[in-house]
Amino acid sequence: MNMRLCAIVLLTTQAFTTAAAAQQTLVIGGATTPVLRMGTEVPVRLRAELTTKNKALRVGQRFEVETSDPISLDGHVVIPGGTPGVGEVTSVTNKGMWGKSGHFDVRLLYLRVGDRQIRLSGTLDDKGVAGGVGAAAVSAIVFLPAGFFMTGTSARMPAGTIIKGSLDEDVPVSFASTPPNPIVATPAMPQPTPVNTQPAPSGQ
């Protein structure tokens, strides 16, 4: 009876020990997916000049940008430098009389990474310099209509202007595994030429 009781206690103890070990090695959930978070800074630069000169801009006009620096996550480059993107002109005021200068505003829309568009946020504005305020005042004193011939300057953003953008969405990232070692083809060994072992026929 005592031997049976000891056996039961031993089996119970082993069962608890096994259960405890199983609980210690239990993993809840899978591996966390790396994510580029919304708000990550993505500076971009203009690929071509924008200007109100000759009324060249209009609201809704789109223009090209590219990332000025690579964007990395966990030591891996996710968005390379030079990645193309698109922005949009949101308002335009052309230069006018009385020293009125040109002005326009732009915003960033998205980057193109492979076959995907990643939303961006970020705005910038520029305006020309008002044309000769003091001179305009003197002209007005002498002859008021002369002021109509004095205009401001056109607004201009040269190519290469940096716009401070940021991601407007979370971007999950999947890193490719280490590629396998390349397979090196071994050239085929040349086949030995068969040797004729039969004796040559004797002359008749």
Q: Where are the domains of the chain?
A: 33-168
Beta bridge partners of 76: 73
pLDDT at 121 over 50: yes
Q: Does domain 33-168 have CATH number 3.40.1350?
A: no
Tell me the mean pLDDT in the region 132-148: 39
Tell me the mean pLDDT in the region 100-107: 88
Picking from 88, 117, 116, the residue whose alpha carbon sits closest to that of residue 104 is: 88
Residues 88 and 98: beta-carbon distance below 8 Å: no
Q: What is the mean pLDDT of the chain?
A: 73
| Residue 177 pLDDT | 61
Give CA–CA dist 98/139, Å, rounded: 11
Question: Phi then psi for 11, rounded to 5 degrees?
Answer: -65, -40
Residues 69 and 42: beta-carbon distance below 8 Å: no
Picking from 51, 73, 201, the residue whose alpha carbon sits closest to that of residue 127 is: 51
- Residues contacting 77, CB < 8 A, separation 6+: 70, 71
Compare 189 and 83 and report the one with higher pLDDT.
Answer: 83
User: Looking at 53-67, 119-133, 139-153, which range is the least confident one?
Assistant: 139-153
Q: How far apart are the first and last CA of the chain?
A: 109
Give CA–CA dist 142/158, Å, rounded: 38
Asked whether the whole model's pTM tops 0.85, one would answer: no
Give CA–CA dist 94/58, Å, rounded: 10
- Residues contacting 101, CB < 8 A, separation 6+: 95, 127, 128, 129, 130, 131, 152, 153, 154, 155
